[in-house]
Structure 1
Amino acid sequence: MPRSRFVSPRKSVSATCRAIMGGGRSRWLALAIAAGCLVPVTTTVTGAAEPVPAADTAAPAPAPAPAQPADAPAAAEATTDRTATQPAGSARASASAAARADRLAAEASTPAPAPAPAPAPAPAPAPKPAPVAAPAPAPAQVEQVAAPAPAPATSGAALSWAPPAGYANYPVTNVTATDSLTTVSGRGGDVLIKLPTDRAVGPITITDCRNAVLIGGSIKALPSSKVDGHDQRAIYVRNCTGTVHIEGVHINGAVNGAQTDGIAANAPKAILQIQNVRVDGLRGMSTGNHADVFQPWGGLREYRIDRLTGSSNFQGLHIFENTGPIGAGTIRNTNIFGHNDAPVDKGGYYIWTDCNDDYPVALDGVYVAPRPGRPFGQSVWPSVTHKQCAATVANGVATWPKDSSITGSVREGRPSSGDFVPAGSVGQNYTSPGYR
């Protein structure tokens, strides 16, 4: 804060000033100021620095006090640290002081005084230093907390498994039928299957191939439970021996009168890769088509799933060994959810394994949302009441501690960030995000 002191403007003072300053302190101060014997000098008293938030840096050093005039007397310098706090006297005290000043000046004068030298102009008061703005507080230091491990990547991220090398040069089969089953035969070799970009087609059977690749397109179920005397399957893989790669396909099962599986397989020598596929609205019943999202009922050498979203009113991932052996299975970034679209006839298990399966199953980022009104513990199989290898459910997470063939877990509900394969992200005009 500013404080004031008074100093003589010259190293030597006139007799008048000496006479004035010889009086008592309380009376001569106003006279000395009025006669120009003393001039005010303002200094700035710097208090303790204000507290600085812990996150801020150290406060800058206080601004130095303004320099003294070069000719200030030493005696005046000794008073620098004292503050003149006496207020000016009343009007009567001021008049009395003026009269005393006149009398003392007359007594101190010589009979023939020389003309008083022109008084040196009093130095201008030292400019009051501009207040130094306190530095703006540094932005609060926000502790960088590692983000939680993200939910498995969305459908726009690179996929886990690439199609077979050189697939772009495979012989091409174009599928165009919209109201019937199309069978695509590889004739023991490789085949590249292309679907229209402007419409959905009917179900497809891929058979007798080595490698087969299907990327993009839409398939719509036919309004029946059987096609050509067999249970309807939107995609059926049979008798292939290499790698069958299915990616970016949308399957629509929400058709009046339709009962269909999503993807089924009967190819014990083949590797089946299912990535970025969405299966919507499957309908089935216990006495008809079971409407599985995925079922390798006839066996596979291996199945690999990355980013699959499916819904059914009956069953989801029916992955136990049925009539054919399965070598291994991996399911990543997959969510299955139930619905109660009629007809609802039993069912309700959205992942189905078996205590007697001896092939390894790895589950990573798998979610099941039960049919409305059905408990989560009764929507996975083995269920929580199974006598041999019951599921254990804790905090909405199902595991099978008594089944060493299953690693990983299944979470209740749907991913917090949405379906792994959002509606509209695959199908016609699909573009692959690439592969790791």
Structure 2
Amino acid sequence: MTSYLDSSKSHPVAGSGRPAFAAPRRILTTGGVAAALLLGGIGAFGMPATSQAAVTSVHMDAAGVGLTAADGTAWSADSGFTGGRNGTVPTATVSGALGNTMLRTNKVGMTAWSAAVPNGTYKVTLAMNEYYWTAAGKRVFSATAEGTPIFTNLDVFASAGARVELDKSLTVAVTDGRIDIGFSAKTDLAMVSAISVAGVSVTPTPTPTPTPTPTTPTPTPTTTAPAAGSLSWSPPSGWKSYTKLTVPAGGGTVSMNNSTDYLLVAPTRITGAVTLSGGRNIVWIGGEIGGRTSVPSGSYDSPNRGIRVSDGADVRTVYIEGIHFLAGTYLSDAIQFAIRSNNGVTAVLQNIRVDATNYGTKATVHADVIQCWGGPRTLLIDGLTAKHATYQGFYLDAGDGRTLPSGAGQAWVSRRVNISGDPLTGGTKYLLADRQPGFTHMVSDRVYITGAGYSSTDSFGSWPSAGLTQNATPPGGDWVPASLWSGTVYTSPGYVA
């Protein structure tokens, strides 16, 4: 395990205009990841770049072994799919610009495809040919890129005929370090011959210089600069058009379809535990949770969790921002991930304030502010304040109850966090991590922990008392101030451009 210390940057306080002092950021890696990548760019690891990442491209030969095309484009071998199988290779020639060799191999029946790319704008192209059916209506399917439709209910044979290349393209913005493509079939199976993701250089439109007009000068109005406390990660592209669901005021299970993206709204206070079951991409911004006002009789009260995220689509983003757990109430876990089978989940938690008491007493049965009881693959936290953690602040278990990811490495980032231990139950640990084999790295950026039983440990050894975590309160106050909420209404400070 290698530790890198970066103390060269000063960062703003989440949700406010106050600058913070240049506190150190420490990065631990067990997978040989280069320090320059961790400290400098977003890549697949969720750290914001100091400048715009270079435009890049991904070209993948679906169900193929990869090749170099006549134009010099290098196409990689089949990778990145969720589900599916290799299609039957036709004996007849397939015509098209990509050539017979590439077009004769096809992936069918997949539900998603994903690849790591720097944030930016990309032209996504799906190359297809109807290699199997010889009549219209036999295969009808849809595809999306970053949640936006590339096409809906496409019949390749009806559009191009048999064994003829058909390309469909869409230009999208990537904001989370991954390009995500979804597939769903209406008739038979979705299919694709090749996928191209080509970086697009976006040139800003020049602002015209106005011609001065001799008039009496008008006083210039005072303008407010963009919030200095912008959050590190924005919601998935197209999130405002997701299928809207209202979270029940009394809590309960919110059941969602694994092929659908959802926008959750909470117009009234939530008084019971909420379980998010299923769904593809999920966005929940704003709300307050608080029901139990009496001290729990047991050490762990599962019906009084705050939010539990369970399995859904394999490759997806679960984005939660601006949730306030109310003072004077009691919780077991505030936010719990119970991901048992998904390997491609990115979870983003930003501006979460827990004034409720997380009540627990035992090392094996405990209540946490954030508990990862299996998953997600990528966990990105920016802005978390918890005032009463009675046993543990974080319990981070990379592999409990699920299969570890293969391919892309895991990355868990904790930025601008302060957790206050409460001696109510004689708590001892406020940061505990159990990293399983295959876990790549954890990033700690201005994490402050206080309490009579202050402790921070993980399965790879003790965490240092300075650098990775600070045994103190943030010098500028809570990272997530209560002033961000007015009842159930939350005001987001916006996102880093």
Scaled by the length of structure 2, the TM-score of the pair is 0.48
Question: Secondary structure of 1:168's partner?
Answer: helix
For residues 399-423 of structure 1, the C-alpha deviation after alignment (integer angstroms, 9 at most, x for no partner) is: xxxxxxxxxx111111000010012
Tell me the equivalent position of 1:164: 236
2-structure distance, mates of 1:285, 1:334? 23
Question: Secondary structure of 2:484's partner?
Answer: coil
Q: Alpha-carbon deviation of 1:169?
A: 1.3
Q: Alpha-carbon deviation of 1:252?
A: 2.9
Structure 2 residues without counterparts, runs of 5 or longer: 1-7, 17-228
Tell me the equivalent position of 1:305: 381
Tell me the equivalent position of 1:15: none
Q: Alpha-carbon deviation of 1:234?
A: 0.3
After superposition, residues 202-281 of structure 1 pair within 5 angstroms as: 202-222=272-292, 224=296, 230=302, 232-241=304-313, 242-252=316-326, 254-255=328-329, 258-267=330-339, 268=342, 269-280=344-355, 281=357
Tell me the equivalent position of 1:155: 15
Tell me the equivalent position of 2:156: none
Change (3 A) 1:390 1:194: closer
Tell me the equivalent position of 1:367: 448
Tell me the equivalent position of 1:192: 263
Between structure 1 and structure 2, the one with the greater Rg is 1
Aligned length: 258
After superposition, residues 107-118 of structure 1 pair within 5 angstroms as: none
More helix by share: 1
Question: Secondary structure of 1:331's partner?
Answer: strand
Q: Alpha-carbon deviation of 1:200?
A: 4.1
CA contact 1:176–1:196 (8 Å) conserved in 2: no
CA contact 1:309–1:336 (8 Å) conserved in 2: yes
Structure 1 residues without counterparts, runs of 5 or longer: 1-147, 399-408
Change (3 A) 1:225 1:363: farther
Question: Secondary structure of 2:240's partner?
Answer: helix
More strand by share: 2
2-structure distance, mates of 1:249, 1:206? 15
1:434 matched to 2:494 = yes
Tell me the equivalent position of 1:350: 430
CA contact 1:221–1:260 (8 Å) conserved in 2: no
1:282 matched to 2:358 = yes
1-structure distance, mates of 2:464, 2:495? 35
Tell me the equivalent position of 1:381: 457
Q: Alpha-carbon deviation of 1:150?
A: 3.7
Amino acid at match of 1:247: E
Q: Alpha-carbon deviation of 1:231?
A: 5.3
Change (3 A) 1:204 1:417: same
Q: Which runs of structure 1 show a deviation greater than 3 angstroms over 4 or more consecutive aligned residues?
A: 148-152, 221-226, 229-232, 354-357, 390-393
1-structure distance, mates of 2:312, 2:12? 31
For residues 372-430 of structure 1, the C-alpha deviation after alignment (integer angstroms, 9 at most, x for no partner) is: 3x3x4xx1114xxx9x723444xxx15xxxxxxxxxx1111110000100124236211
2-structure distance, mates of 1:253, 1:318? 22
Question: Secondary structure of 1:265's partner?
Answer: strand
Pick aligned residue for 2:401 from 316, 323, 334:
323
Q: Alpha-carbon deviation of 1:302?
A: 0.8
Tell me the equivalent position of 1:415: 474
Amino acid at match of 1:273: V
2-structure distance, mates of 1:276, 1:263? 13
Tell me the equivalent position of 2:42: none
Q: Alpha-carbon deviation of 1:289?
A: 5.1
Question: Secondary structure of 2:490's partner?
Answer: coil
Q: Alpha-carbon deviation of 1:247?
A: 0.3
Amino acid at match of 2:473: R
Amino acid at match of 2:416: N
Amino acid at match of 2:348: Q
Change (3 A) 1:235 1:361: same
1-structure distance, mates of 2:490, 2:441? 32
For residues 152-208 of structure 1, the C-alpha deviation after alignment (integer angstroms, 9 at most, x for no partner) is: 423231111111111111111112423xx32112211111111125x3442211111
Question: Secondary structure of 1:207's partner?
Answer: strand
Change (3 A) 1:152 1:313: farther
For residues 307-329 of structure 1, the C-alpha deviation after alignment (integer angstroms, 9 at most, x for no partner) is: 01113111101113233347221
Change (3 A) 1:150 1:287: closer
